Amino acid sequence: MKTVIIGGIAAGLSAASQIKRQEPEAEVVVLEKSGDVSYAACGMPYNLYFKEKPVEKLYAMPLDTIRKERGVDYRLHHEVTRIDASGKSVEVTDLESGKSYRESYDFLVYATGNKANRLDYPGFDSEDVFYFRTLEDTRRAKSFLYGKPPAKVLLIGAGYTNLEVADVLTNMKLKPVIVEKAAMILPAFCEEVRAKVMEKAAEKGIELLTGVDIEEKAGRTVRTSAGTFEADMVVVAAGARPNTALFAAAGGELGVAGAVKVDRFLRTNLDGVFSGGDCAEHYVRQLGRNSYFPLGPAANKQGRVIGQNICNPEKMTEFWGVDQTAVFKFFDYTVATTGLSELQMQTLGKNVVKVTVDAPTRGEFPGGGTMRIVLFCEKGSGLVLGCQMVGEDVVAKRLDVLATAIYKGMTVFEVAELDLSYSPPYAPVWDPVLVAANVAVKKV
Amino acid sequence: MKTVIIGGIAAGLSAASQIKRQEPEAEVVVLEKSGDVSYAACGMPYNLYFKEKPVEKLYAMPLDTIRKERGVDYRLHHEVTRIDASGKSVEVTDLESGKSYRESYDFLVYATGNKANRLDYPGFDSEDVFYFRTLEDTRRAKSFLYGKPPAKVLLIGAGYTNLEVADVLTNMKLKPVIVEKAAMILPAFCEEVRAKVMEKAAEKGIELLTGVDIEEKAGRTVRTSAGTFEADMVVVAAGARPNTALFAAAGGELGVAGAVKVDRFLRTNLDGVFSGGDCAEHYVRQLGRNSYFPLGPAANKQGRVIGQNICNPEKMTEFWGVDQTAVFKFFDYTVATTGLSELQMQTLGKNVVKVTVDAPTRGEFPGGGTMRIVLFCEKGSGLVLGCQMVGEDVVAKRLDVLATAIYKGMTVFEVAELDLSYSPPYAPVWDPVLVAANVAVKKV
């Protein structure tokens, strides 16, 4: 049995490793266009901060380990130029030698990830404009930053990536300006969380403007609907879209958000072709359907499921899906969400009880802080629909309790009864999660 | 309606507050023997470390707030000397004036807590022997510690309290010696966790001896079966037992571990008398019966349930119980457990799969560490039975995911599917919890 995998970052390497774990004799060829082996893309903004830490520290493992210990034929700088779905083969170009060849497969895994939306306004093709999608992007940005440190940095787009980049740049004593096209930041979050993020940005001296249309860039000058900004460095993080060209050209069917359409087994419409990671759809349990939620954990989990299914075609496993859990760091704040967004609840016509609680994170012990929890549940039943948190100290791993509750369909009555850990260094006697659940119980 | 509450620390004040929230006109009298209002007893060891922080910082709230805002008639230095169950009254002595009086009640809440087991070997009645059960104990110990700092400290008993005290004393540059009567420390924990605690103690230069019988104390010299120790200060934390004398003298029935026997509504056998907190039994969900698990969260929750039940006698609420979650800090380690102990699993005849995983707590981001997870599930079904953790960084709030899983009867198959938060500052792409669950899945 031979599997060819296009793209070797998260889903691709996970699928490869899983196949080799289950069937050590199977042949697995990974064709990775870039010169970088599987890396943790979510760590890229943070790596900027550490001048001495090479971006290669983000590699999941050395190439040698992948090849020798895992037994995967992992080829860097190998670009697939065409998929022949009926002939079950791909055309490959070795970018270093320039030579092309054909590689046949029994199974193909399409794991090409996504790519940053490029700005096509005049002047945005210059050398001082950076994106943040690949390790090579990070390498370029880092070399620029530490080469001749920019006096002024303009960040276009106010999503997780640029908020993390703003955090890092501020810690490097740069004062970035962020402009966002939409009328508000962080659409997955509710106003009560967004307000805290905006406050923190203001506290840190970061100018953050929304509803800004970019017009053009001429030298150091970026003209926008909100006026002119001078910038020695521009970082664009204005969303990303699935890399589907090769797949579509081979007759592959696309789905939500233009991602590769997959069934619950992660099969595509092409015979023997699976897909996962940032190029594919992701099943969202609470919606009961596929959506597009391109984050690292889903990519890794989908890769593993693909590997299992390739090895067990008679007994395939469904990808169980995501609960839309996401988290990012913004200075001393952790900003986190799980479950449905407020907009999704509205769209679904849910009758929602929403409670907002500000609570201390620890008992009488130094190092704690305050966090805000916004808990959403269904009126009447009390079913937990979503939860968002923002604040200091331990936030992300508190959110996980709600992610667990949502996975298992728990109510706020049940959450209020949880026996959560208590000791002054870790929590007050009523953990903020319990406080929020108790407030919700009264309103259900 | 008039409620008298004996003991105003955790369960007592919670019950009082709940009654006043639900029925602002109700009369609530709290009779607290000590001179301290409700405090967070679990914070006492940590308070020692901060010379300038008065022990009164552990108060849940000022007396004035309890009286004026909550409307509770809270009386300090008032000792109940007798309960007249048939006459529904108590005899009280005002310890300051020496006067005695009778207070009648419609409902009585017995919330007297527990008391430290005293050592009755010769010489242990001296001024340099300390216990750690009340705020007054802490006040005495702290005044001693900062008055004439002891050169040598002997800690008798190696439970949570003395391990926390050892941590604090070591940070104060004292080198405590710990002696424990039992053959091993922390019986609620498995060997894989205990070993890490012992390692940490050794790393910190703390001598920790088990299987040690105390013989006598003469001046600075404590003679034991393991030899003689010199000590300027002795801290005894050798367990505690419920304060039940008053209750028993009134015809009250005792249950597990000599604690006040309560039903699921926290009623005792005496008419109109409820009990909760460290003097009472605690329902353990996984055992399906009462046990004795005297920790702060249970006391607070039981107090709240008692308050609800006093206000709603026609529609009483069961105390839902605990899952035996407990956590303490030992230097940079957090040591935590939830669910059944290994011994309880054996007693129940469970067929157990046990997996131990050591994993990093973060992605490529500074400040992380390593933690160990020991996960227990039922062979065949995969039902999560218990989980213990020890290690650095964020551990306690990771345990809470397993506490939630146990509450809800989840299997390791389900835990492996959770969509837990991921970003390099908070977790690796596969959180340690997922790693442990995935290993368990393979062995079920």
* Residue pLDDT, tens place only, B190-202: 999 999 999 999 9
Characterise A326 by phi-psi region: left (phi > 0), alpha (psi -120 to 50), beta (else): beta
Question: In terms of C-beta density within 10 A (0-12 exposed, 13-18 middle, 19 or more buried), how is residue B68 classed?
Answer: exposed
Angle CA B278–B280–B286, to nearest 5: 95
Q: Which amino acid is at A336?
A: A
Identify the residue among A429, A431, A435 best suited for mutation to test binding to B, counting B beta carbons within 10 A and taking the highest: A429
pLDDT at A175: 87
pLDDT at A215: 97
- Measured in whole angstroms, how far is the alpha carbon of residue A382 from the centre of its chain? 30
Residues A366-378 pLDDT 10s:
899 999 999 999 9
Show Cβ contacts of residue A349 under 8 Å, excluding neighbours closer than 6 positions: none
Q: How far is A271 from chain B (nearest CA, A)?
A: 27
Ordered domains of chain B (ranges, CATH): 2-42+56-114+240-311 (3.50.50.60), 118-236 (3.50.50.60), 326-443 (3.50.50.60)
pLDDT band at A22 (very low <50, low <70, confident <90, very high): very high
Mean pLDDT of A10-19: 98
pLDDT at A62: 95
Task: Provide the number of CB pairs (under 8 Å) joining chain A to chain B.
Answer: 188
Characterise A339 by phi-psi region: left (phi > 0), alpha (psi -120 to 50), beta (else): left
- Measured in whole angstroms, how far is the alpha carbon of residue A412 from the centre of its chain? 28
Q: How far is B420 from chain A (nearest CA, A)?
A: 5
B405–A contact, CB cutoff 8 A: yes
* pLDDT surpassing 90 at residue A162: yes
Mean pLDDT of B207-217: 97
pLDDT at B175: 87
CB contact under 8 A, A40 and B429: yes
SS (H, E, C) B307-343: HHHHHCCCCCCCCCCECCCEEEEECCEEEEEEECCHH
Angle CA B318–B320–B326, to nearest 5: 145
A322–B contact, CB cutoff 8 A: yes
Query: Which residue did the predictor score with more confidence, B132 or A67?
Result: A67
State percent of chain B over pLDDT 90: 98
The whole-angstrom separation of Cα B105 and Cα A295 is: 60
Identify the residue among A142, A397, A410 best suited for mutation to test binding to B, counting B beta carbons within 10 A and taking the highest: A397
Contacts of B296 in chain A (CB under 8 A): 422, 429
B90 close to B83: Cβ distance less than 8 angstroms? yes
pLDDT at B148: 87
The whole-angstrom separation of Cα B107 and Cα B3 is: 5
pLDDT band at B317 (very low <50, low <70, confident <90, very high): very high
Contacts of B398 in chain A (CB under 8 A): 397, 400
pLDDT band at A388 (very low <50, low <70, confident <90, very high): very high
CB contact under 8 A, B419 and A325: yes
Show Cβ contacts of residue B327 under 8 Å, excluding neighbours closer than 6 positions: A421, A422, A423, A426, B334, B335, B336, B337, B395, B396, B399
User: If DSSP codes are grouped into helix, strand and coil, which group holds residue B306?
Assistant: helix
Residues B130-181 pLDDT 10s:
998 999 999 999 999 999 889 999 999 999 999 999 999 999 999 899 999 9
Mean pLDDT of A390-397: 98
Show Cβ contacts of residue A110 under 8 Å, excluding neighbours closer than 6 positions: A6, A7, A83, A246, A247, A252, A260, A268, A273, A274, A275, A279, A280
The whole-angstrom separation of Cα A315 and Cα A52 is: 48
CB contact under 8 A, B424 and A43: yes
A327–B contact, CB cutoff 8 A: yes
pLDDT band at A23 (very low <50, low <70, confident <90, very high): very high
CB contact under 8 A, A398 and B400: yes
CB contact under 8 A, A429 and B300: yes
Residues B73-104 pLDDT 10s:
999 999 999 999 999 999 999 999 999 999 99
* pLDDT surpassing 90 at residue B261: yes
Q: Which amino acid is at A144?
A: F
Question: In terms of C-beta density within 10 A (0-12 exposed, 13-18 middle, 19 or more buried), how is residue B369 classed?
Answer: middle
The whole-angstrom separation of Cα A315 and Cα A56 is: 38
Count CB atoms within 10 A of the CB of residue B321. 24
Name residues 9-48 of chain A within 8 A of B (Cβ).
Answer: 10, 40, 42-43, 46-47
The whole-angstrom separation of Cα B54 and Cα A71 is: 62
User: If DSSP codes are grouped into helix, strand and coil, which group holds residue B364?
Assistant: coil
Count CB atoms within 10 A of the CB of residue A349. 7
Beta strand A2-6 pairing with A27-31: parallel
Count CB atoms within 10 A of the CB of residue A101. 10
Show Cβ contacts of residue B78 under 8 Å, excluding neighbours closer than 6 positions: B31, B32, B33, B92, B93, B94, B95
pLDDT at A149: 87
State percent of chain A over pLDDT 90: 98
The whole-angstrom separation of Cα A140 and Cα A36 is: 14
Count CB atoms within 10 A of the CB of residue B171. 12
B52–A contact, CB cutoff 8 A: no
The whole-angstrom separation of Cα B169 and Cα B233 is: 11
Mean of all residue pLDDT scores within chain A: 96
Count CB atoms within 10 A of the CB of residue B405. 29
CB contact under 8 A, A429 and B42: yes
The whole-angstrom separation of Cα B226 and Cα B64 is: 51
Residues A30-42 pLDDT 10s:
999 999 999 999 9
pLDDT at A132: 87
Nearest residue, CB atoms, A296 vs list B394, B400, B422 = B422
pLDDT at B132: 86
Contacts of A425 in chain B (CB under 8 A): 46, 329, 334
Sheet holding B89-94, edge to edge: B78-84, B89-94, B100-104
The whole-angstrom separation of Cα B292 and Cα B270 is: 20
Contacts of B430 in chain A (CB under 8 A): 297, 300
* Element holding B275 (H helix, E strand): strand B273-275
| Pick from A366, A380, A386, A393: nearest CA to A436 | A386
pLDDT at A148: 87
| Pick from A11, A8, A19: nearest CA to A309 | A19
